[in-house]
Amino acid sequence: MTSLAIGAHVAQADPVAEAQARQAPLVQFFLGDPQGYKGPEIRFEGGAAGLRARAEEAGVDLYVHAPYIVNVATTNNRIRIPSRKLLQQHMDAAAQIGAKGLIVHGGHVNKTDDPAVGFDNWRKAVEATDLKIPLLIENTAGGDNAMARHLDRIAGVWDAISSAEGSERVGFCLDTCHAWAGGIELGDAVERIRTITGRIDLVHANDSRDDFDSGADRHANFGHGHLPADEFAAVVREAGAPVICETPGGAAEHRADFAWLRERV
């Protein structure tokens, strides 16, 4: 796969300039505060229309990561209801800038909850959200009550949302660090996830600071973590999807990560 489309998670003030500094055809960024319920903001000087035009002119694909606090699976109304509202707001803002997808974590239920309630809450969230662009659910690294850490839970979410109106606009983002730290063997991860979801729309390519099944979400630059290099590269190759690196550092470190991956893929 010589034409590997690879980019990085970047600062949000001027994502297109960040892409150009990395010679990348795609970038991912937040719109506003990743830890707050305040709602999205476009920090690009030219606003949403300006950013959309700038990205189109430069030939850069934009991806938006929803705030980490979004948890549409939970049974806690004080979290679930604001999460749904925030998800819709970020969906609208991402569509305004012409983003190719909105990435959201799978969320979790409380310790004593039946996971099936979380699966159904995902179905309700998909039905309640006007999906103007693809919504990409990302597997997560930690937590025994997570909706998208283990394959059986991912299958539960997918079974539930498959009956929802709009489910054809829901895709999957495979994070390599999260898979490793979450206890998913990398060797057949792509095959097993495709069997469940039918698709992989984006890869978050990250090495892992911690051991297999540690539950720790700590990314490392490529070749500096615990992921076996050949299995890591094979995941990217087999997924055949655009790649975003969420690794430490700036443009120079990201370009080094790109080169490391290209050499092996």
Helices 229-239 and 189-197: angle between axes, nearest 10 degrees: 30
Give tens-digit pLDDT for 45-102: 999 999 999 999 999 999 999 999 999 999 999 999 999 999 999 999 999 999 999 9
Q: In this structure, what CATH number is given to the domain that contains residue 191? A: 3.20.20.150
Give a yes or no: residue 80 inside a domain: yes
> Does pLDDT of 2 surpass 70?
no
Give a yes or no: residue 1 inside a domain: no
Q: State the pLDDT at residue 3.
A: 80
Where does the pLDDT of residue 1 fall: very low under 50, low under 70, confident under 90, or very high at 90 and above?
very low
Range of the domain at 250: 6-264
Give a yes or no: residue 188 inside a domain: yes
| pTM: predicted TM-score of the whole model, two decimal places | 0.97
Return the amino acid letter for 31: L
Domain count for the chain = 1
